[in-house]
């Protein structure tokens, strides 16, 4: 089975930039999506097709994917960005999620 690995936690100061990584074997050959889940809420799609943002998602969220690593970048982090972030891909007719990264904005 295919595995995606994320760091359990990251922290960032308000207004600074944070990068959340997602690693997998030859991940750059697959398409990656990212989701934000605030405490007590359902997940929300942030990024799809590695780099694309759905309408309504602020442009401070961006994505990239190359080699074995996909990256979600939050530029100018805000207090409202404190949440869990999950990467996701599709492999052999199954959906794979990363373990999630808890972002603290302090």
Q: What is the DSSP string of the chain?
A: ----B--SEEEE-TTS-EEEEEE-TTGGGS--EEEEE-TTS--EEEEBTTTB--TTS-TTEEEEEETTEEEEEESS--GGG-EEEEEEEEETTEEEE---EEEEE-
Shortest Å distance, C-beta 79 to another protein: 23
Q: Does 86 bind another protein (CB under 8 A)?
A: yes
Q: Does 99 bind another protein (CB under 8 A)?
A: yes
Q: Which is nearer to another protein, 12 or 88 (CB)?
A: 88
Shortest Å distance, C-beta 53 to another protein: 12
Mark residues 23-62: x for contact with another protein by CB under 8 A, - for none: -------xx-x-x-x----xxxx--xx----x--------
Q: Which is nearer to another protein, 16 or 104 (CB)?
A: 104
């Amino acid at each position: 089975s295919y595995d995606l690995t994320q760091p359990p936690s990251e922290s960032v100061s308000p207004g600074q930039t944070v990068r959340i990584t997602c690693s997998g074997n030859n991940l750059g050959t697959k398409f990656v999506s990212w989701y934000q889940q605030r405490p007590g809420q359902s997940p929300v799609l942030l990024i799809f097709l590695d780099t694309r943002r759905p309408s309504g998602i602020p442009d401070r969220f961006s994505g990239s994917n190359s080699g074995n690593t996909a990256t979600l970048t939050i530029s100018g982090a805000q207090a409202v960005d404190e949440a869990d972030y999950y990467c996701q891909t599709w492999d052999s007719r199954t959906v794979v999620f990363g373990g999630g990264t808890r972002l603290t904005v302090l």
